[in-house]
C-alpha cells in the first residue's frame, strides 16, 4: 500500500514543503529561498520567521495540488522542530500542528540533522551501519549510524561550522552570499597551494574541528595584501577551501578507523562542494570505504529529507502530539 508523507522545513532561511511516498520516493518538493537576507550578509532571524509566515501556506497548497491529493490522503505530517532559529521553527511547527489537529493525520517532529543524513536515502538506498559527516551552515559533525534511529556522536566543531567558515571567508573576499557556492566557483581558477592556511586541531587525534582560526588567518592575509586582484581572490578561495576540506576528511579518516563500516555518507549544504566529494573519495576509497552524497538539490535545506526521515519515525510508531515543542540546539539522539 502506498503511504504519503508531507514534509515541512522552516528551521533557517528556506521555507520548504514536500511529499514523499514509501513506494515512489520524492513526489514533489518545493523550496522558497529567502533572498532578502543577501543584503545583510547573513540570516536576520526576525525577517526569516516573517518570511516563512508569508511563504508557507501557498507553498503547502502548491505541493498538495501538484501531488493531486488532499490532507486526508496523508499518512503523516513530518516537521523539523529543531535545531534552528526558534521563531522560524515555530512557524513550521504551528502550521504542522494545525494540519494534524484538524485532520487527525499523525504528526512527527524531525531533528534537522537526521533529515540531512537521510537525504542520502532519497535517490539511492541508505544502508547501515555507516558513518555520516554532516556539514552545513550551522553544523559540522561525524555521526556513527548503527541503524536509522540509532546515532552515536563521534565529534564535531568547537566553534564555527564548516559552512559558516565558507560564508565568512566569502564575505571577506567580497563574494556573493551565501559564501559556500561562491568560494567554490572562485576557487576553480585558483591555486589551492598559494597560501598555507591553518587546519584547526589537525593533530588532536580526535574527531573534533575548529574553523575560527582559519577565518582569522584569512582576514589577516587579506589585510596584508591590500587591493585584491581577481587572481588573488581565487588563490585565497582555493587555499581556504583546501584547508576546510582537508581537515574535514582527515577527521573522517580517524572516524572510519574506529568503526567497522564500509559506507561513508556526506550530508548538509557543504556536501554540495565538489572538492570535498573528490577528496573524500580519494582518501576513503583506498581504505575500502564507499563514499556517497545526495544530489546537490537535496544537500541544502529541503523538505523531502524531512518527510523521508519522518516516515521512518511514523512507521515505527514515533508520533508526537500538540505538546511538541521546538528546540534551538541539541544533538541528534537515538529514538530507536
Binding site for Zn ion (CB under 5 A): 136, 301
Q: x/- string (CB under 6 A) for ligand KG4, residues 8-37?
A: ----x-------------------------
- Binding partner at 186 among Zn ion, ligand KG4, none, C-beta below 5 to 8 Å by kind: none
**From the CB of 300, what's the least distance to Zn ion, in Å?**
7
163 contributes a contact to ligand KG4 by CB under 6 A: yes
Name which of 247 and 272 has its Cβ closer to ligand KG4: 272
- Binding partner at 197 among Zn ion, ligand KG4, none, C-beta below 5 to 8 Å by kind: none
**From the CB of 250, what's the least distance to ligand KG4, in Å?**
17
**From the CB of 131, what's the least distance to ligand KG4, in Å?**
18
**From the CB of 245, what's the least distance to ligand KG4, in Å?**
9
Name which of 67 and 137 has its Cβ closer to Zn ion: 137
269 contributes a contact to ligand KG4 by CB under 6 A: yes
Selected binder of ligand KG4 within 180, 190, 192, 294 (CB under 6 A): 180
> In whole angstroms, what is the distance from residue 191 CA to residue 234 CA?
7
Q: For 135-145, b where at least 16 C-beta lie within 10 A, e where not — what string? A: bbbbbbbbbbb
> In whole angstroms, what is the distance from residue 277 CA to residue 274 CA?
5
Selected binder of ligand KG4 within 273, 303, 307, 311 (CB under 6 A): 273
Expressed in angstroms, the distance from the first to the final Cα of the chain is: 24
Name which of 163 and 200 has its Cβ closer to ligand KG4: 163
Q: Which residue is listed with cell 520524492?
A: 26
272 contributes a contact to ligand KG4 by CB under 6 A: yes
Those residues with Cβ within 8 angstroms of residue 220's Cβ, 6 or more apart along the chain or in another chain: none
Name which of 31 and 108 has its Cβ closer to ligand KG4: 31
**From the CB of 43, what's the least distance to ligand KG4, in Å?**
9
DSSP states of 92-155: HHHHHHHHHHHH---EEEEEHHHHHHHGGGTTS---SSEEEEEESSS-EEEEEEEETTEEEEEE
Q: Helices 230-258 and 212-225, interaxial angle, to 10°?
A: 160
**From the CB of 116, what's the least distance to Zn ion, in Å?**
6
Pairing of strands 263-267, 130-135: parallel
Strands (DSSP E) along the chain, which ranges? Answer: 4-9, 14-21, 25-33, 76-82, 107-111, 130-135, 140-147, 150-156, 263-267, 290-292
Residues near ligand KG4 (CB under 6 A): 12, 136-138, 163, 166-167, 178-181, 184, 268-270, 272-273, 300-301
Amino acid at each position: 500500500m502506498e503511504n504519503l508523507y508531507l514534509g515541512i522545513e522552516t528551521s533557517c532561511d528556506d521555507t520548504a514543503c514536500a511529499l514523499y511516498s514509501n513506494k515512489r520516493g520524492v513526489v514533489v518538493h518545493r523550496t522558497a529561498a529567502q533572498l532578502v537576507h543577501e543584503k545583510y550578509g547573513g540570516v536576520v532571524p526576525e525577517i526569516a520567521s516573517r518570511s516563512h509566515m508569508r511563504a508557507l501556506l501557498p507553498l503547502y497548497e502548491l505541493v498538495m495540488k501538484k501531488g493531486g491529493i488532499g490532507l486526508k490522503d496523508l499518512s503523516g505530517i513530518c516537521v523539523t522542530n529543531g535545531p534552528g532559529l526558534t521563531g522560524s521553527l515555530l512557524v513550521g511547527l504551528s502550521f504542522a500542528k494545525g494540519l494534524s489537529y484538524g485532520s487527525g493525520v499523525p504528526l512527527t517532529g524531525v531533528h534537522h540533522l537526521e533529515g540531512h543524513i537521510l537525504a542520502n536515502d532519497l535517490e539511492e538506498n541508505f544502508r547501515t551501519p555507516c558513518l555520516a559527516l554532516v556539514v552545513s551552515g550551522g553544523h559540522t559533525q561525524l555521526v556513527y549510524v548503527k541503524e536509522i534511529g540509532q546515532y552515536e556522536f563521534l565529534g564535531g566543531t568547537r566553534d564555527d561550522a564548516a559552512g559558516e567558515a565558507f560564508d565568512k571567508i566569502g564575505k571577506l573576499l567580497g563574494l556573493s552570499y551565501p559564501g559556500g557556492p561562491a568560494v567554490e566557483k572562485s576557487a576553480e581558477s585558483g591555486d589551492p597551494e598559494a597560501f598555507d592556511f591553518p587546519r584547526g586541531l589537525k593533530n588532536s587525534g580526535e574527531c573534533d574541528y575548529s574553523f575560527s582560526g582559519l577565518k582569522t588567518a584569512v582576514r589577516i592575509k587579506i589585510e596584508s595584501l591590500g587591493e585584491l586582484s581577481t587572481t588573488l581572490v581565487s588563490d585565497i578561495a582555493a587555499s581556504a577551501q583546501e584547508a576546510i576540506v582537508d581537515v574535514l576528511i582527515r577527521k573522517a579518516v580517524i572516524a572510519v578507523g574506529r568503526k567497522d563500516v564500509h559506507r561513508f555518507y556526506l550530508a548538509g549544504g557543504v556536501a554540495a562542494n565538489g572538492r570535498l566529494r573528490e577528496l573524500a573519495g580519494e582518501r576513503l576509497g583506498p581504505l575500502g570505504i564507499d563514499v556517497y552524497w545526495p544530489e546537490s538539490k537535496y544537500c541544502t535545506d529541503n523538505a523531502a529529507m524531512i518527510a523521508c526521515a519522518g516516515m521512518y519515525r511514523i512507521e515505527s510508531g514515533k508520533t508526537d502530539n500538540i505538546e511538541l515543542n521546538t528546540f534551538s540546539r541539541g544533538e541528534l539522539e537515538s529514538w530507536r
